[in-house]
Chains A and B, each alone.
Chain A
Amino acid sequence: MVTRGEIVRNKVSELMDGELDGTHAAKIINAVKTDNDLFSDWKIYHAIGDSLRQSAVNIDISEQVRNQLADEPLLLSPYPHKTHQNRKQKLLGLSVAASVAALSIGWLISQSMEQHETTLKEIYVAEKNNGKTAPVGGPRSLMTFQPVSAYSSPSMPVNTHYNNDPLIYRDLTYERSVRYPATGISSPAEVVGEQSAASAE
């Protein structure tokens, strides 16, 4: 019968080999840190691996390093980790791009609306002057009315149903869904930090 201990040790073995998924790996790492038996397994499994790889060196300085670090202050990294940083930077870049796209589209819409407003006014004035009635469709709603484009032949009306344009909706919706991160730009000190760590030796 497989015991619980064997199952967990099996996971430690998989963790060592880089074969555990993220969630399980995090759990097992915590277990190894807190359980002395699992910690000892971690130690012994690595000793086996090192021996099989014919390491000519047989040292175990982990105890000495631990003792020496006992007086060291706890590390609290001032910098968020790179992957988080990248995520933030990507998000920020995405937000900026989405904002620019939304502004451009907004500007285009407003330009088109102004243009259509002018066109509509011109049409109404022209129709009034010609003694025709107002077009069917009731009150003039720019979003539903199909005016004749100033740039097209009257027989070839241009579809300007902006409110039905999925592209516009998609961009506007996307823009709303993007959250602006509070931070996310790495300082130059971070970039040089790692290099200086290694070269400071």
Chain B
Amino acid sequence: MSDREIDQQLVEQVQRGDKRAFDLLVIKYQRRLARLLSRFIRDPAEVEDITQETFIKAYRALPSFRGDSAFYTWLYRIGVNTAKNFLVSQGRKLPATVNGFGTEEAENFEGADQLREVNTPESELMGKQVAQTVNQALEALPEELRTAIILREIEGLSYEEIADIMNCPIGTVRSRIFRAREAVADKLRPLLGTDKSKRW
């Protein structure tokens, strides 16, 4: 089941009245959406507000979402329009990037490196700590685990493609990516306040 199909399944569950399914979508897309919106809005607090407002609007509009486009494309479109309206309501000039920003751009948006810093001092500190912890944990991983998770998360390759590159069975790729995530998550949990001691 592809990423888009999983989103669609979650969307259908929300459409049937399951709010928890919407939580999963928020967690999945909140940072990517905020990163997109930060292209148009300078103030980090406003980015956070608009991100939040976008999700609320998306939730309310979900009954009419039929899956003709991917959920995230649709979400990004709502986000861009919300940002535009916000800037207009504030009497601010729209950045040139907003007007030329269409569905295609939203779909292919991965321009994190072009973005200015959009964190509040607190979130910036937290962001740095998270990034540092993740990087340290990544460095400590055995090479095959590190390669597998980088190919997946940064390059966006499928398990099959990773198996081809790493010359190993798909099952091994699954296991390596999971073990890599677990190792990094173990280091990150104390920072994010999730205790693993009570887990089964």
Contact = CB atoms under 8 A, between A and B. Distances in A.
Interface string B175-200: 10110011011001100101000111
A29 B6 contact: yes
A26 B34 CA distance: 28
A41 interface: yes
B111 to A, nearest CB: 10
Chain A, interface SS category: helix
Contact of A57 (B16, B118, B199, B200): B118
B31 A58 contact: yes
B172 interface: no
Q: Which bucket holds chain A's interface residue count?
A: 35 or more
Contact of B81 (A26, A29, A34, A201): A201
A48 B188 contact: yes
Given A45-B185, A50-B31, A78-B63, A33 B21 contact: yes
A138 interface: no
Contact of B30 (A9, A14, A49, A61): A61
A152 B119 CA distance: 90
A22 interface: yes
A32 B134 CA distance: 23
Contacts of B185: 41, 44-45, 48
A9 B181 CA distance: 10
B1 interface: yes
A63 B63 CA distance: 22
B51 A61 contact: yes
B65 interface: yes
Contact of B31 (A3, A59, A66): A59
Which of B118, B138, B181, B182 gathers the greatest number of chain A CB atoms within 10 Å?
A: B181
Interface stretch (A155-163, A166-174, A189-197): A189-197
A68 B26 CA distance: 13
Interface string B97-137: 00000000000001011011111000110110011001000
A60 interface: yes
B143 interface: no
B1 A21 contact: yes
Interface residues of B, number: 93
A13 B56 contact: no
B62 A55 contact: no
Contacts of B34: 57, 59, 61
Contacts of A44: 185, 188-189, 192, 194
Interface stretch (A69-77, A97-105, A120-128): A69-77
A54 interface: yes
B65 A197 contact: yes
Given A44-B189, A45-B185, 14 more contacts: A18-B4, A29-B9, A33-B18, A34-B20, A44-B188, A50-B31, A52-B153, A56-B38, A56-B115, A56-B127, A75-B59, A77-B62, A82-B68, A197-B78
Interface of A: 3-6, 9-10, 13-15, 17-22, 25-26, 29, 32-34, 37, 39-62, 64-66, 68-69, 72, 74-79, 81-83, 85, 190, 193-194, 196-201
Q: Closest 4 interchain pairs by CB?
A: A58-B127, A201-B81, A193-B64, A197-B61
19 contacts: A5-B199, A13-B174, A18-B1, A18-B3, A29-B6, A39-B23, A41-B185, A46-B27, A48-B134, A52-B149, A52-B154, A57-B31, A57-B115, A59-B31, A59-B34, A66-B19, A77-B15, A82-B67, A194-B74
